[in-house]
Amino acid sequence: MPGPGDVLELIRERGALTRGDVLEITGLSRMTVYGRIDSLLDAGLIVEAGADRVTRGRPSRHLEFNSAHATVVAATVDTTQTTVAVTDLAGRIAIQERVEVAVADGPGATLTAISASAHRLLGRAGISIESVAGLGVSIPGPVDPASGRPSQPPLMPGWDAYPITEHLRDGLGVSVLVANDADAAALGEQRAAHPDSRALCFLKVSSGIGTGIVLGGQVYRGTDGGAGDIGHVKLAGHDERCQCGARGCLAAVASGRAVARALTKLGKDASSGSDVGAYLAAGDPDAARLTQAAGRVIGEVVATVVSLLNPSDVVLGGRLASAPLLAGVRETLYPRSLPRATRHLTISLSTLGESAAIVGLATLVVEQEYSAAAVNAAIAR
Ligand SMILES: [Zn+2]
């Protein structure tokens, strides 16, 4: 018998619904549905929105998930910096800050800085730690779906299998989840900008290259958390050394780090994807040309992804997301794919930019903490 949590899940997933909608969709009795809805209203998990539709002569009010029910803390760890944000349950950012720690500082220093930042931001926003539903952390490497720990990340020394969840839970006393950054950003983009997309690929091109895949509204992580890790696909005819130690990886040829290296050879000071992003934003023609060339190489690999998944959306994000990157990807992707695979394909730049992963992390925290089972157990208590 579906409980209140199942009704909440329906309202969360389908958006605003009337009592009549819930009756119709669930096929449960009127008494059961009204009882479930009353208990969700009493718990503050849903709210009634304005009377905007008339059913059988009576105005029927919409029921919506109460995105102010609790708060989420989201932290995105990157190769050059970390961002910590406090959001509502819809991923709307209340307050955020940059923290000057990054992957290379190792997990201990990075996670301790995240804890301190979370306490600082909550204090500034006047939010108590008790009203935090959970903390989501994204990292630029694969995450083992079973353990929630980093799984042999190629460019994160000291992070392999590190107990991120335990470290942060001890520091904050809230539940913690860990996600790959491209996965989190893919989910954020799908929810915020492409809600009807049944298959979306988010391509993060920063210092490294990674892909997040959202199928049927859920992140597809793969058997070992390695789905979408296309940065280390070996390209024929290339011998450039990659950060991972191998040669000829896509990331060695077409990542932000690779473009930065090419810019350095032209006498420009650049070492990371962020540096390349700054040149692109300033309209530097060399950065634009090299980024477009990188896009062409990326498009060759993404053509295989598109043929495999037939997505409706490929979203380009990360520091190199720009018109030249988009143009480069289009140049090679279309000629290398069958028309059927690209007929309904939209290739676009990220709508949310750096906030995409934060929105995705908030979504993941809500899905975990407000799952049907969690809510049924909490209300039965
Ligand atoms: Zn590599």
Mean pLDDT for 178-201 is: 96
Residue 209 C-alpha to ligand 1 middle, in angstroms?
10
Three-class SS of 279-318:
HHHCCCHHHHHHHHHHHHHHHHHHHHHHHHHCCCEEEEEC
4-66 CATH:
1.10.10.10
pLDDT by residue (tens digit) across 263-321? 999 999 999 999 999 999 999 999 999 999 999 999 999 999 999 999 999 999 999 99
Residue 237 C-alpha to ligand 1 middle, in angstroms?
15
Residue 154 C-alpha to ligand 1 middle, in angstroms?
7
Residue 23 C-alpha to ligand 1 middle, in angstroms?
53
Residue 350 C-alpha to ligand 1 middle, in angstroms?
25
Residue 19, phi then psi, degrees to nearest 5: -60, -40
Nearest to 360 by CA among 138, 185, 181: 185
Residue 155 C-alpha to ligand 1 middle, in angstroms?
9
Q: Which residues, by Cβ under 5 Å, contact ligand 1, an ion?
A: 232, 242, 244, 246, 249
Residue 202 C-alpha to ligand 1 middle, in angstroms?
19
Q: Is the pLDDT of residue 178 over 60?
A: yes
Mean pLDDT of the chain: 93
pTM of the model: 0.93
Q: What is residue 381's predicted lDDT score, i.e. its pLDDT?
A: 73
Residue 180 C-alpha to ligand 1 middle, in angstroms?
17
Q: What is residue 274's predicted lDDT score, i.e. its pLDDT?
A: 93
Q: What is residue 10's predicted lDDT score, i.e. its pLDDT?
A: 94
Percent of the chain with pLDDT over 70: 97
Q: What is residue 205's predicted lDDT score, i.e. its pLDDT?
A: 97
- Per-residue b/e over 7-31, b at no fewer than 16 CB within 10 Å? bbbbbbeeebbbbebbbeeeebeee
- The architecture CATH gives domain 193-354: 2-Layer Sandwich (3.30)
Cα(52)–Cα(328) distance, integer angstroms: 47
Q: Tell the CATH topology of 71-184+357-369.
A: Nucleotidyltransferase; domain 5 (3.30.420)
Residue 257 C-alpha to ligand 1 middle, in angstroms?
12
Residues 83 and 138 sit within 8 Å (Cβ to Cβ): no
Residue 320 C-alpha to ligand 1 middle, in angstroms?
18
Helix 372-380 × helix 4-14 angle, to 10°: 140
Residue 153 C-alpha to ligand 1 middle, in angstroms?
11
Show the tokens assigned to 185.
Answer: 């950003």
Residues 97 and 84 sit within 8 Å (Cβ to Cβ): yes
Residue 111 C-alpha to ligand 1 middle, in angstroms?
26
Residue 206 C-alpha to ligand 1 middle, in angstroms?
14
Residue 205 C-alpha to ligand 1 middle, in angstroms?
14
Cα(34)–Cα(36) distance, integer angstroms: 5
- Output 8-13 pairs: Cβ under 8 A, ≥24 positions apart: 8/40, 8/45, 8/46, 8/65, 8/370, 8/372, 8/375, 9/370, 9/371, 9/372, 9/375, 11/40, 11/46, 11/63, 11/64, 11/65, 12/65, 12/366, 12/370, 13/217
Q: What is the domain partition of the chain in residue ranges?
A: 4-66, 71-184+357-369, 193-354
Cα(259)–Cα(291) distance, integer angstroms: 7
**Banded model confidence at residue 204, pLDDT cuts 50, 70, 90:** very high
Residue 83 C-alpha to ligand 1 middle, in angstroms?
26
Q: What is residue 59's predicted lDDT score, i.e. its pLDDT?
A: 62
SS3 of residue 66 by DSSP: coil
CA distances from 191 to 78, 166, 198, 337 (A): 22, 28, 11, 27
Per-residue DSSP letter, 16: S
Residue 299 C-alpha to ligand 1 middle, in angstroms?
17
pLDDT by residue (tens digit) across 116-169? 999 999 999 999 999 999 999 999 999 998 999 998 887 788 999 999 999 999
Q: Do domains 4-66 and 71-184+357-369 have the same CATH topology?
A: no
pLDDT by residue (tens digit) across 37-56? 999 999 999 999 866 555 55
Residue 108 C-alpha to ligand 1 middle, in angstroms?
25
CA distances from 305 to 181, 211, 228, 301, 321 (A): 19, 10, 9, 7, 19
Show the tokens assigned to 289.
Answer: 């040309």
Q: What is residue 155's predicted lDDT score, i.e. its pLDDT?
A: 78
Cα(338)–Cα(46) distance, integer angstroms: 46
pLDDT by residue (tens digit) across 247-265? 999 999 999 999 999 999 9
Mean pLDDT for 158-187 is: 95
Q: What is residue 80's predicted lDDT score, i.e. its pLDDT?
A: 84
pLDDT by residue (tens digit) across 63-81? 999 999 999 999 999 988 8
